[in-house]
Amino acid sequence: AQSVSQHNHHVILSEAASLELGCNYSYGGTVNLFWYVQYPGQHLQLLLKYFSGDPLVKGIKGFEAEFIKSKFSFNLRKPSVQWSDTAEYFCAVRDSGTYKYIFGTGTRLKVLA
Amino acid sequence: DAMVIQNPRYQVTQFGKPVTLSCSQTLNHNVMYWYQQKSSQAPKLLFHYYDKDFNNEADTPDNFQSRRPNTSFCFLDIRSPGLGDAAMYLCATSSFQDKNEQFFGPGTRLTVL
C-alpha cells in the first residue's frame, strides 16, 4: 500500500532560519506530489505541486520543493522563514492513475519572532 | 469566490445519535472527497465520488455513509456516532481538468458526548 512519511513532527526555528521538511513516499508508479499548509484556524491550502518536468518546483510565499525520484522524496524548503510561516505542513501523494490522495502525518512548524 | 463550504463548522452530538455533515462547492468539480482528521494525524480518506460513482475505502466503517444528490452537494452521515468518531471532517474537491489539485473546505469539528 502507498504511504507517505514526514520525519519531523515538530520543528521550531527562529525567524530568518532556513527550513527543510522531509517527505518520502512508497509507490513505484507515476505519482503527483503536493505540499499543503494549514495555518492556525484555517483550512488546508496548496503550497505547491509537482506533476512532471523540472523536479524543482516553486510555490507560493517563497517555498520550493525538489522531487528526487531515486530517493522517493519531495522535500520542502524555504531559505528564510518568517513568523507568519507558523503552521502545519502536509505532504501528499496521488497515484496518477486514480483520484486518491495519501497524506503524511504533518509537520508542525513554529517560528519564533 | 469559488469555494468549498462546510456546514456546520462545529457539531456536537450524543453517543449513538445520527448526525449529518454537509459540503457544498461552487467550483463545479466532478470529484468530491470526505476525510477524517484526528489530532496530530494525517487526513484519512473515508470515500470519494467521481461524479455519481461512489468509491468507499476498504477500512471505512459501515457507520459512515455518504450521499451526493448533485454536483454541488455532498453529505456525510454518521449513523451511530461513537466516542472514537470525534474528529475534524474535511471535504475536498478536485477536477480532472484542473491537474487534480484538491481544494479543501474549512472542516467540521465533531464532538461526541
In DSSP notation, B49-103 reads: EETTEEEE-TTS-TTEEEE-SSSSEEEEEESS--GGG-EEEEEEEE-GGGTT--E
Q: Kindly tell me if the per-residue pLDDT of A2 is higher than 90.
A: no
The B residues from 53 to 92 touching A (CB cutoff 8 Å) are 55, 90, 92
Q: Which residue has the higher pLDDT, A1 or A9?
A: A9
Looking at per-residue confidence, does B31 or A96 come out higher? B31
Contacts of residue B39, defined as CB under 8 A and 6 or more positions apart, other chains included, come to none
Domains of chain B with CATH codes: 4-108 (2.60.40.10)
List chain A residues with CB under 8 Å of B60. Answer: none
Q: What is the structure's pLDDT at B16?
A: 95
Q: What is the pLDDT of residue B99?
A: 60
Shortest distance, CA B26 to any CA of chain A (angstroms): 16
Residue ranges of domains in chain A: 3-112
On whether the CB atoms of residues B73 and B23 are closer than 8 A, the answer is yes
pLDDT tops 90 at residue A95 = no
In angstroms, the CA A21 to CA B3 distance is: 29
Asked if residues A15 and A82 have their Cβ atoms less than 8 Å apart, the reply is yes
**Mean pLDDT to the nearest integer, B40-66:** 92
State mean pLDDT over B71-100: 90
Which helix (H) or strand (E) covers residue A77, if one does?
strand A73-78
Nearest one of A27, A79, A76 to A49, comparing CA atoms: A76
Among A4, A101, A105, the residue with its CB nearest the CB of B102 is A101
How far is the alpha carbon of A70 from chain B, nearest alpha carbon, in Å?
24
DSSP notation for A21-53: E--EEE-SS-EEEEEEEE-TTS--EEEEEE-SS
**pLDDT tops 80 at residue B96:** no
A34 vs B contacts (CB less than 8 Å) = 101-102
Q: A108: nearest CA in chain B?
A: B40
pLDDT in tens, A23-80: 999 987 888 999 999 998 888 999 999 988 999 999 999 999 999 999 999 999 999 9
CATH topology of domain A3-112: Immunoglobulin-like (2.60.40)
The Cα of B113 is separated from the nearest Cα of chain A by a number of Å equal to 23
pLDDT at B1: 65
